[in-house]
């Protein structure tokens, strides 16, 4: 992915800084298959990139360093906290790109977070994707689209989609992407809980529920065609009927309070609501932008979420800004 393709018209600022941003995602369909030999589950998922962004600014520096501002900027180790060292996926992205390009990993990374961590919205993946795009420009690595996509897949299952954006069908462990053309805008309200959920913990709970026979096994997953057809042309009722997430049951088992949150969303007028990815964020589908604004206002007063955000999609993946 050349600088122009990855980042559009962005440029290096006079102080040598480069800024990129990447979006949150919603899994409007998430079918989880059986556990693979490599420890991952086989997935069939449909990603939608939405207008909640993290921003990464990179500057020339000696060595690699990272600061975090905004959501989760506590440098802690629990779900919902964002580390400021090698545990951070943006740091790992910088090291990986440097090795690939044969350059020194010299940069200071500033991560401005609006996407909560451990929320089922791929906030860490967005940071990694934006870091790849920003450092490609700063270091002049001239990475191709295929190069950055391959590096993204090494970093995590959701990073390739954070790079791509829009709408896409994900297979494998989610990193194998087929773009989907969606001609219309979709409006959502994200209800963000106060405490994050660890993705590995949610998958482990799914395996446990399946072993106990509490939920269907992963030998087959629901087809993706209904949700893709609905995303392409609507109406909202069709998309509402097609939404599904195999990780919702284990997320609800781990966080029973999410049942109340889902009910609050539908009671407030959402066409449908589901847990986003591994949770605990609730994604509530609205008919249009005015409906989303009204829904967000009602949910903000319901007392079931820490933060409520009205968003829309699809939006672009990681891009240079400024």
The full 3-state SS of the chain, as one line of letters, equals CCHHHHHCCCCCCCCCCEEEEEEEEEEEEEEEEEECCCCCEEEEEEEEEEEEEEEEEEECCCCEEEEEEECCCCCCCCCCCCCCCCCCHHHHHHHHHHHHHCCCCCEEEEEEECCCCCCCCCHHHHHHHHHHHHHHHHHCCCCCHHHHHHHHHHHCCCHHHHHHECEEEEECCCCEEEECCCCCCEEEEEEECCCCCCHHHHHHHHHHHHHCCCCCCCCCCCCCHHHHHHHHHCCHHHHHHHCEECCHHHHHHHCCHHHHHHHHHHHCCCCEEEECCCCCCEEEEECCHHHHHHHHHHHHCCCCCCEEEEEEECCECCEEEC
Q: What does the pLDDT read at residue 9?
A: 35
Q: What does the pLDDT read at residue 284?
A: 98
Question: Out of 112, 136, 158, 187, which one is annotated catalytic?
Answer: 158
Q: What does the pLDDT read at residue 318?
A: 98
Q: What does the pLDDT read at residue 220?
A: 67
Cα 168 to chain centroid distance, Å, stands at 12
> In order along the chain (322 residues), what is the average pLDDT of each group of 10 residues?
38 76 97 89 95 98 95 61 92 98 97 93 97 97 94 96 97 94 94 88 94 83 88 94 96 94 96 95 97 97 93 98 86
Report yes or no: 128 and 21 within 8 Å, Cβ to Cβ. Answer: no
Phi, psi of 317 (to 5 degrees): -80, -160
Is 253 an annotated catalytic residue? no
Sign of CA dihedral 255, 69, 13, 143: negative
Is 25 an annotated catalytic residue? yes
Q: What does the pLDDT read at residue 50?
A: 98
Q: What does the pLDDT read at residue 135?
A: 98
Question: Out of 25, 54, 127, 147, which one is annotated catalytic?
Answer: 25
């Amino acid at each position: 992915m050349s600088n122009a393709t990855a980042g559009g018209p962005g440029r290096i600022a006079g102080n040598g800084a480069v800024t990129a941003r990447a979006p949150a995602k919603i899994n409007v369909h998430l079918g989880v298959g059986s556990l693979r030999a490599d420890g991952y589950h086989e997935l069939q998922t449909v990603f939608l990139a939405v207008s909640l962004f993290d921003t990464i600014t990179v500057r020339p520096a000696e060595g690699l360093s990272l600061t975090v501002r905004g959501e989760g900027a506590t440098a802690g180790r629990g779900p919902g906290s964002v580390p400021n060292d090698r545990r951070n996926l943006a740091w790992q992205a910088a090291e990986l790109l440097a090795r690939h390009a044969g350059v020194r990993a010299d940069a200071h990374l500033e991560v401005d977070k609006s996407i909560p961590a451990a929320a089922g919205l791929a906030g860490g993946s967005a940071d990694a994707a934006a870091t790849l795009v920003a450092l490609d420009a700063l270091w002049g690595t001239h990475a191709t689209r295929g190069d950055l996509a391959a590096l993204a897949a090494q970093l995590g299952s959701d990073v390739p989609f954070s790079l791509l954006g829009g709408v896409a069908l994900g297979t494998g462990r989610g990193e194998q992407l087929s773009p989907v053309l969606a001609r219309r805008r979709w409006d959502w309200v994200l209800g963000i809980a106060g405490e994050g959920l660890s993705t590995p913990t949610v998958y482990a709970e799914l395996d446990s529920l399946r072993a106990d026979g509490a939920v269907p096994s992963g030998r087959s997953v629901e087809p993706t065609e209904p949700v893709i057809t609905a995303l392409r042309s609507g109406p909202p009722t069709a998309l509402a009927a097609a939404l599904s997430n195999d990780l919702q049951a284990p997320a609800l088992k781990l966080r029973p309070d999410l049942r109340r949150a889902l009910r609050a969303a539908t009671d407030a007028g959402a066409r449908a609501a589901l847990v986003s990815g591994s949770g605990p964020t609730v994604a509530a589908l609205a008919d249009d932008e005015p409906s989303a604004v009204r829904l967000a206002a009602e949910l903000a007063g319901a007392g079931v979420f820490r933060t409520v955000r009205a968003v829309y999609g699809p939006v672009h993946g990681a891009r240079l800004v400024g």
